[in-house]
Structure 1
Amino acid sequence: MFKRPATLYCIMKSLFPNGLILINRFCREGNSPNHHQTITYNQLLRNVCRCANALKLLGVKKGDRVAIYLPMIPELVYTMLACARIGAVHSIVVSSDKLINLKKTASEALERCKERYVPVCCSPLSEEPLFTSPEWMDSEDPLFILYTSGSTGKPKGVVHTVTGYMLYTSLTFKYVFDYHHDDVYWCTADIGWITGHSYITYGPLANGATSVLFEGVPVYPHVGRLWEIIEKYGVSKFYTAPTAIRLLMKYGREPLQQYDLSSLRVLGTVGEPINPEAWLWYYDVVGQQRCPVIDTFWQTETTCPFFGVQPAVLNEHGEELEGEAEGYLVFRKPWPGIMRGVYGNQERFESTYFRKFPGFYVTGDGCRRDKDGYYWITGRIDDMLNVSGHLLSTAEVEAALTEHPSVAEAAVVSRPHAVKGECLYCFVTLKDHKEFNRTLMEELKRKVREKIGPIATPDFIQNAPGLPKTRSGKIMRRVLRQIARNEKDLGDLSTLADPKVVEVLFSQRWEAAA
């Protein structure tokens, strides 16, 4: 097996043999938009080494697991890379996690101390040496454990390894985003999620990129905050989530018109399927019809598979479909960045991803392959509805609903029906100053009938001031299914961003008319 140092410094040195002259910028939105700093790669290396030396003084060594609970600040990146440098396995706790949930993750950490109470000693990192040699690692040694968002159940600890993961994030960053050394790149994700790990920390740094780290929220202290940052740093590659795009759409074009966005060259979207209305707004208004929109799905990449990825489309019986087809998205063979397992539960890993269709890796998503060979993600397999014998994609129904000018966001789930088997129960979030009434409900039903057909006409449409989402912005559809059925046993809600949303939706079920 290959052995290599657990550090990105060697990659950087090969990219810049005459010195690391690019600047990796971190924009920290604290109490003021003026709160920012610039960090060079040399400063980054020194801070990583100081942090690594501090960890070693605490007894942390190769193979130990280190939980990191920090906000979106440079120190979070320092600590991640410090763990990688000494061979420790980092596990990021998302900064928005409730303290009461931390024990569930920490209970799987290695217990180093037998005492019930552990004294905590604080010492300034500035006193630590400026360099420490990297630990040499086997290519399949674990790099980190990342707990999933929990949108489909209890969060699971996904294990990624050193070489395959770093290779893949480096390559996908470079080629998917068409990165060049004069680009300024910005991903708005939280580092606590896989997008942040891969496309804020490891991918950009492995390419010596100039990038922006954003600590704030998209609409504070004003709704033009994102566009202000793009102008300030001359961002050329901008990467965000459909949820954020739909949020900003509500404020229209005016906030963008105050800023110069001419530096933009590529727009990216990640985290969930993007509906056509949001895609067009992103392309027309943000990209000014000159920036390609890269819609990414990080078990591969849509619309075409990335290097080494071999997708297939299967039907219910596990038979491979050729040409234009719609069915289950699977992969024939592994790729370098594939996760290596679920921490402490290999049986769950095998049953979730390999048991349904033996010989294939099952993504859990449905897809449609068109005549040009492009793959369109239609949503989670669990989100497919069977209405009177017709399979319907929730993503298609949601796209039809959000075409209505009053609707900002929509989520569709199934509800048992005595005749049809299942029927459609729709939750719609309206744009500001729009009213939910019987007229709007009829217009929405008509819109769905026109776009998809009579079989897809919703039986229930409920006003949803907010939707239950994980802190990564993914809609927890299993919670919506329980609300639609008026069942209060909701299961694990530890990753729910705002539990009050669920109470509101239960209280407003009576508004959903059949």
Structure 2
Amino acid sequence: MTYIWTPPRDLVQQANVTHFMESQKIESYQDLVRRSASDIKWFWGNVPEWLELEWFAEPRDVYDSSRGVEWTKWYIGGKINVSYNVLDRIVKRGLGDKVAMTWIGEDSKVVRLTYNEMLDYVNRFSNLLVDLGVGKGDVVAIYAPIMPESAIAMLASMRVGAIAAPIFSGYAPEAVAERLRLGEAKVLVTVDGYYRKGKVVQLKPSADEAVRLSGLKPKVIVIRRLNIEVPINEERDLIFDREVQSKRPTFEPAETEAEDPAILMFTSGTTGKPKGAVISHAGMLLQPTKEHYFNLDIKPGWEGYNDVLWWITDLGWMMGPWMVVGSQSLGASHLSIEGALDYPARDRVWDIIEKFKVTHLGFAATAGRLLKSLGKDAYENHDLSSIRAFGNTGEPIDEDTWMWVVRDLGEERRPMINLSGGTEIMGCFLLPSPVVPLKPTTLWGPGLGMDVDVFDDNGTPVRGKPGYLVAKKPAPSMTRGLWKDPERYIETYWSRFPGVWYHGDYALIDEDGFWYILGRADDVIKVAGKRLGPAEVETIVNSYPKVAESACIGYPHPVKGEVVVCFAIPKPGQVLDDVDLSNIRRLVAEKLGKPFEPEAVVPVKDLPRTRSGKIMRRIVRDAAVDKQVEQSSVIDNPESINYVKEAAATLKRLMK
């Protein structure tokens, strides 16, 4: 019998969404989701008021699709600013002395900024940007981890009407240069360096090289995190603290149009140059705030709560800006750390949760597996009672890890808010709320105001078998085209099913109506004419007692066309021998059927992953077939590519 998590009665009674439904006389969460998707004008027209956001000028209409659904405009005539709503508005509500952000260095340094302090810094930085000639529509690139100064730079950019462009701090200079060049960045904010596992990572030299390769001449603002000796160009470079302290502490936020771009985030395409997702002020504000309030159940600070959200991420990934804006627009707090989760101690995460009273913890599934692998003794002596909800995104979570989070960590009293969306919508298509029952690994169903479905190849809705995740109606946070590339925008999202957004995820709605993400559509394995999501296989492989993690891919076969092969990382101290590998293959066959039995399972020391822990299956596949590995700059552990190649040599011998 399938396990189903049922929310405790007190959780349901106290949930934000329960109080909201009572006020609107809506019977159930399912009814709310259905109404919000069927009547998007009602939902999106009222949600700014429900979330108590503030306009400089009220919109005269909710949306306009006269140019076609692909180019829908939202909140016609409305003026709103992200920075104002997550700072000034919160201070006006009497929360100026409340902590907005906590940052913890690997060396145990702690910085806590109140709303008053953050507003002061953002105002000063806004004046600096204006003095540097930054105006409406200019791009301010931020190449630094998530830390107080980088969050300040992002909010200040939005405040002046410019466009913040966070860039993943793990990118190599070539990747950064490409993003600077595409955005024509006028300013680049970076950091001298940071700590990771006790080592100093110098970022300023990489930033210098990126500027050189870009051919641009932006001003470079340097955050002095470590005060180490790094190259400083006296004519071009400015020191963050020195410049900010010299500026005025007041700045009136720009009265930006609802449709004005707030943030530019480049997301890697399967091939070719990065895609520039352009998110408007309205979209950047509404989607994260809606999800934090209704789905994560983050309580507003003005109601006397002190919720603290810690999503393990980087500012250059969507979840970084999503966390900052969503939590602060509710007058809550967010927390971030420097360095690794298990350094300098295995219990670092649990110690931080206990000390800083974290209420919401989010991660990628790989990070969840890492925390699980550290053992029960790492957390059993820590008080985790402050936690009210867990979250997962970035990749499908396996059942074993989901059950560990819900049963062991959550004691079956805390929900797993498993969510999925993308950079291109600055939020989620699918996610549960705390008031609904959950099956292991499910995302439950559509987010509020998101009219989504699962289509087959012919564009027909399917149930009980995998298909493609699509959105049948627009939403305010959808990217406004792609940065200077409208043709690619239409080709990528709107050409497969005309008039319908194709997201590129492989999804399933089961017989009970629970939704699942099976992986990216371009990761799908085709076996004997049938499609198989790699996450389905990996969940089974990862359940084997000796396996820590795995990546399963489609591998070319001279006779069968494509077969399933799996790369499995043994748990610490374990060895996967021939008997184990045969048992794993047999286990997959028992669970999925003989046609889907992996052709081979091979041990591997490690797998390519991003800084947030997400395993990059495409890079695994490219390395395994000796294809040129592209976009290696996203990989946090580049040595893993050679591990995959070594394992692939064994694989080739097995396949002969």
The TM-score by the shorter chain falls in which range? over 0.9
Q: What secondary structure does 1:277 align onto?
A: helix
Shift of 1:311: 1.1
Distance in 2, matches of 1:69 and 1:466, equals 27
- Which amino acid is 1:469 matched to? R
Q: What secondary structure does 2:104 align onto?
A: coil
Q: Alpha-carbon deviations, 1:286-319, whole Å to 9, x = none? A: 2122111110012412322112111122111222
Contact between 1:243 and 1:473, CA under 8 Å: does it hold in 2?
A: yes
| 1:170-209 paired onto structure 2 within 5 Å | 170-180=289-299, 181=301, 182=305, 183-199=307-323, 201-209=324-332
Q: Alpha-carbon deviations, 1:374-406, whole Å to 9, x = none? A: 211111112222222332221111111001011
Residue 442 of structure 1 aligns with which residue? Answer: 582
Residue 264 of structure 1 aligns with which residue? Answer: 387
Residue 56 of structure 1 aligns with which residue? Answer: 130
Residue 629 of structure 2 aligns with which residue? Answer: 490
Residue 112 of structure 2 aligns with which residue? Answer: 38
- Which amino acid is 1:497 matched to? D
Shift of 1:10: 4.1
| 1:9-28 paired onto structure 2 within 5 Å | 9-10=84-85, 17-21=92-96, 23-24=98-99, 26-28=101-103
- Which amino acid is 2:646 matched to? S
Contact between 1:3 and 1:136, CA under 8 Å: does it hold in 2?
A: no
Contact between 1:384 and 1:392, CA under 8 Å: does it hold in 2?
A: yes
Distance in 2, matches of 1:255 and 1:461, equals 31
Shift of 1:15: 5.8
Shift of 1:429: 1.0
Greater shift after overlay, 94-103 or 53-62? 94-103
The match for 2:571 among 417, 431, 445 is 431
Distance in 1, matches of 2:101 and 2:88, equals 21
Residue 452 of structure 2 aligns with which residue? Answer: 311
Contact between 1:12 and 1:207, CA under 8 Å: does it hold in 2?
A: no
Q: What secondary structure does 1:169 align onto?
A: helix
Q: Name the count of aligned residue pairs.
A: 510
Distance in 2, matches of 1:417 and 1:196, equals 41
TM-score, normalization by structure 1: 0.94
Distance in 2, matches of 1:411 and 1:389, equals 21
Greater shift after overlay, 338-347 or 87-96? 338-347
2:165 aligned with 1:91? yes
Distance in 1, matches of 2:271 and 2:402, equals 25
Residue 18 of structure 2 aligns with which residue? Answer: none
Residue 78 of structure 1 aligns with which residue? Answer: 152
Distance in 2, matches of 1:213 and 1:478, equals 29
Q: What secondary structure does 2:256 align onto?
A: strand
| 1:99-114 paired onto structure 2 within 5 Å | 99-110=173-184
**Identical-pair percentage:** 33
The match for 1:353 among 464, 468, 493 is 493
Contact between 2:139 and 2:165, CA under 8 Å: does it hold in 1?
A: yes
Shift of 1:345: 1.7
Q: Relative to structure 1, is the Cα distance of residues 154 and 425 closer, same or farther in structure 2, using a 3 angstrom cutoff?
A: farther
Distance in 1, matches of 2:595 and 2:97, equals 56
Contact between 2:547 and 2:568, CA under 8 Å: does it hold in 1?
A: yes
Residue 640 of structure 2 aligns with which residue? Answer: 501
The match for 1:119 among 228, 236, 245 is 236
Q: What secondary structure does 2:316 align onto?
A: coil
Contact between 2:100 and 2:118, CA under 8 Å: does it hold in 1?
A: no
Shift of 1:193: 0.5
Query: Which one has the bigger helix percentage?
Result: 2
Q: Relative to structure 1, is the Cα distance of residues 220 and 290 closer, same or farther in structure 2, using a 3 angstrom cutoff?
A: same
Contact between 2:361 and 2:390, CA under 8 Å: does it hold in 1?
A: yes
The match for 2:363 among 235, 240, 257 is 240
**Structure 2 unpaired stretches of 5+:** 1-75, 187-214, 219-232, 422-427, 431-442
Q: Relative to structure 1, is the Cα distance of residues 8 and 107 closer, same or farther in structure 2, using a 3 angstrom cutoff?
A: closer
TM-score, normalization by structure 2: 0.74
Contact between 1:22 and 1:209, CA under 8 Å: does it hold in 2?
A: no
Distance in 1, matches of 2:146 and 2:269, equals 21
Q: Alpha-carbon deviations, 1:483-513, whole Å to 9, x = none? A: 333x232334332223221122212323333
CA RMSD of aligned residues (A): 2.2
Contact between 2:146 and 2:320, CA under 8 Å: does it hold in 1?
A: no
Q: Alpha-carbon deviations, 1:62-121, whole Å to 9, x = none? A: 111111122322011111111011001111122222234321111123376987995334
Q: Relative to structure 1, is the Cα distance of residues 354 and 111 closer, same or farther in structure 2, using a 3 angstrom cutoff?
A: closer
